[in-house]
Amino acid sequence: MEKAYKLLALKLGISNNKAKELIDSGLVSVAGKRLEVARKDLPLNTEFKVIEEKLEVLFKDSKVLAINKPVGVESYSLQDKFPDYKLLHRLDKDTSGVLLLSSDPDFIKRAKEEFKEERVTKNYLALVDGNLKEALEVTKPIGTKKGFKAQSFIKSHTSPKDLEYKSATSKFTPLQFLDNKTLVLANILTGRTHQIRVHLASIKHPIVGDIIYGKTKSNRLKLHAFSIKLLDYEFKAPINLQAEFDKEAMDSSKLL
């Protein structure tokens, strides 16, 4: 037996620190399930699968830079890769998909107003536990506990009392049943931390691979920011659903 990060470092020919970083970023799986603990003892013959980080530029002009963010990449780190640009919004580290930046001060100001007034259309694809049989809207207020790893809560008599709970609205539409799972289109009208994840968990349909709010383990969090419409711009971030979500999933080009 040996520590997971040491085995991975040996097999990939990288440093122990880099191996630990890959595991902590949610990019490493064993037997189809995400490896959550870098210091976990594993057999010497363990086979690892590493998700490749593919940072794709979808669009670029004088106002907007649209990126297809891969899993495991912090949104704020993109400002280091594109130093002339500022984030217009963010995605969770474990969420892939379209992310917008801008280098135009006037456009940044207009865009922030659009987000503030909830006039931005954001659509996500999620693979969830169980069969969501009909479209529904969830309007449960959400409070977030900040820290090394943020965690959000639905306002209830059992949730933490020292949090500020803000209104949140999510719309979920089932697209396809996959055995005991459902491919869901999620549209959020507000932008609370972990909003889609905590709202889906609250209706007993947590996202597959969600290690905070769900129990079904997978090689990654099955959540992808598929499209966004901001002012006169609209972008879609393609995803290979068969490879990333489920081998029986439909082609994302046919969804929206």
Kindly state whether residues 131 and 223 are assigned to the same domain.
Answer: yes
Q: Average pLDDT for residues 76-80, to the nearest whole number?
A: 91
Kindly state whether residues 124 and 8 are assigned to the same domain.
Answer: no
What's the CATH number where 172 sits? 3.30.2350.10
The amino acid occupying position 233 is Y
Kindly state whether residues 70 and 153 are assigned to the same domain.
Answer: yes
Query: pLDDT tens, 18-40?
Result: 999 999 989 999 999 999 999 99
Confidence of residue 148 (pLDDT cuts 50, 70, 90): confident
Tell me what pLDDT residue 246 has. 76
Q: Average pLDDT for residues 6-27, to the nearest whole number?
A: 94
Among the candidates 50, 73, 90, a domain finishes at: 50
User: Does residue 248 or residue 144 have the better pLDDT?
Assistant: 144
Kindly state whether residues 130 and 42 are assigned to the same domain.
Answer: no
Kindly state whether residues 101 and 6 are assigned to the same domain.
Answer: no
User: Could you give the number of structural domains in the chain?
Assistant: 2
Tell me what pLDDT residue 229 has. 97
Among the candidates 11, 27, 50, a domain finishes at: 50
Kindly state whether residues 63 and 40 are assigned to the same domain.
Answer: no
Strand partners, 131: none
Kindly state whether residues 114 and 138 are assigned to the same domain.
Answer: yes
Nearest residue to 237 via CA among 219, 212, 214, 255: 255
Among the candidates 10, 26, 50, a domain finishes at: 50
* Global model pTM greater than 0.85: yes
Tell me what pLDDT residue 214 has. 95
User: Does residue 170 or residue 149 have the better pLDDT?
Assistant: 170
Q: Which of 92, 94, 210, 246 is catalytic?
A: 92
pLDDT over 70 at 254, yes or no: no
Encode burial over 10-28: b for 16+ CB neighbours within 10 A, e otherwise.
eeeeeeeeebbebbbbbbb
Confidence of residue 253 (pLDDT cuts 50, 70, 90): low
Kindly state whether residues 16 and 115 are assigned to the same domain.
Answer: no
Q: Average pLDDT for residues 209-218, to the nearest whole number?
A: 92
- The DSSP symbol for 116 reads H
Kindly state whether residues 80 and 46 are assigned to the same domain.
Answer: no
User: Does residue 243 or residue 18 have the better pLDDT?
Assistant: 18
Q: Is 92 a catalytic residue?
A: yes
Q: Which domain holds residue 124?
A: 56-254
Tell me what pLDDT residue 179 has. 85
Q: At what angle do helices 4-12 and 16-24 cross, to 10 degrees?
A: 110
Kindly state whether residues 91 and 144 are assigned to the same domain.
Answer: yes
Confidence of residue 256 (pLDDT cuts 50, 70, 90): low
